[in-house]
Chain A
Amino acid sequence: MSADNLNVYMPVVMLMFIAVATVVLALLVGKLIRPHNPFDNKEQAYECGEDPIGIAWSNFNVRFYVVSLIFIIFDVEGALLFPVAAVFKSFIEIGEGSVILATFALFILVLAVGIVYCWRKGDLDWVKGFTSEELQNLSKAKDAQ
């Protein structure tokens, strides 16, 4: 009987199923009544009326990658903090509040060091400023052209 308690996941599975089923059903029903006359120009990607040049799958900037790398670290941090935060109150109630606060604070402060480091080193800047040296090199390269 104890396995019945997995029933708490029943609405979850149902909602997931219904969400997908709604999309499929609506598209299938729509298929019966909507027009369908494709031609080459219509199926082009939109590029403000011009013919698209090349494909869109090009190299993207490394910044996006850096952001997601930093994100994962904080995501894992959040995942580790959630169970501790959940028992925080019960520890206060048994009079061990300072102990759990110290644990909690140490964990957060160590990661705060990380974000301070990234900030100081400019990894959180979306557009990194050029140093004067780099600017000179750029203008030299432009002159050479």
Chain B
Amino acid sequence: MFDKLLFFSSFLLTISGAAMVLGSKDLVRACIALLACLFGVAGLYATLNADFLAATQLVVYAGGVVILMLFAIMLTGGSNNAVNRFGINKVPSMGDGKTLAFGILSGAVATLTIFKITKNVFIDYNLQEIPGYSSTVEQIGQLLVTNHVLAFEISSILLLGALIGAAVIARPRKS
């Protein structure tokens, strides 16, 4: 009962958040909607017994990426000019024929995906199929230092590269 509730609330939060990101013409509001969407995704991870992934989703995305986006928005002076550069202030994604076509296409794909997901849930949803709850932290930790130790170390080098790249790009250039 509760797992269904958790799943459907996360699902609704994800979908409605994503829809609001698309529909909002205010950048900051879109950012909050994105936060809701990411939070919903964390809930979905929690339903799938991936507790560590869910917390990572919260720490990295809710705490880091959303704040970064908000700062980036403030860097450009907030969302006081909701009119895009084509002079259209209705919905940002409805720029011209090309974006409209793209939007419809992605909407169709999303709808099909949703139907595909919900079909399984409604028709052959079976409690027995869900494996028992167990923490994934220890498993992930073990794999990170045994089988995937190279990936773990390379990720640190990737992070180093990202750190230096971020610092270099954000550094004010001397004219």
| Residue contact B56 to A79, C-beta cutoff 8 Å | yes
A86 on interface, CB distance cutoff 8 Å = yes
| Residue contact B141 to A84, C-beta cutoff 8 Å | yes
| Residue contact A65 to B71, C-beta cutoff 8 Å | yes
Bin chain A's interface residue count: 35 or more
State the interface size on chain B (CB cutoff 8 A): 55
B18 on interface, CB distance cutoff 8 Å = no
A68 on interface, CB distance cutoff 8 Å = yes
The A interface is mostly helix, strand or loop, or mixed, namely helix
- Flag the segment in A21-29, A35-43, A99-107 that touches B: A99-107
Residues of A within 8 A of B68 (CB): 65, 68-69, 71-72
The B interface is mostly helix, strand or loop, or mixed, namely helix
The interface bits of chain B over 157-170 (1 if a CB of A lies within 8 angstroms of the residue's CB, else 0) are 10110111011001
| Residue contact B171 to A71, C-beta cutoff 8 Å | no
B14 on interface, CB distance cutoff 8 Å = no
B→A interface (CB under 8 Å): 2-3, 5-6, 9, 46-47, 49, 52, 56, 59-60, 63-65, 67-68, 71-72, 74-80, 127-128, 130-133, 137-138, 140-142, 144-145, 149, 152-153, 155-157, 159-160, 162-164, 166-167, 170-172
10 further A-B pairs in the complex, CB-CB below 8 A; given A72-B60, A91-B145, A110-B153:
A6-B2, A7-B2, A9-B2, A55-B78, A58-B77, A60-B74, A64-B71, A66-B171, A68-B68, A117-B167
What are 14 sample pairs from A and B whose C-beta atoms fall under 8 A apart?
A: A6-B6, A7-B2, A13-B6, A57-B74, A57-B77, A60-B74, A68-B71, A80-B152, A83-B138, A110-B156, A111-B163, A114-B159, A117-B163, A123-B167
A→B interface (CB under 8 Å): 1-10, 13, 55, 57-60, 62, 64-66, 68-73, 75-80, 82-87, 90-91, 99-100, 103, 106-107, 110-111, 113-115, 117-118, 121, 123
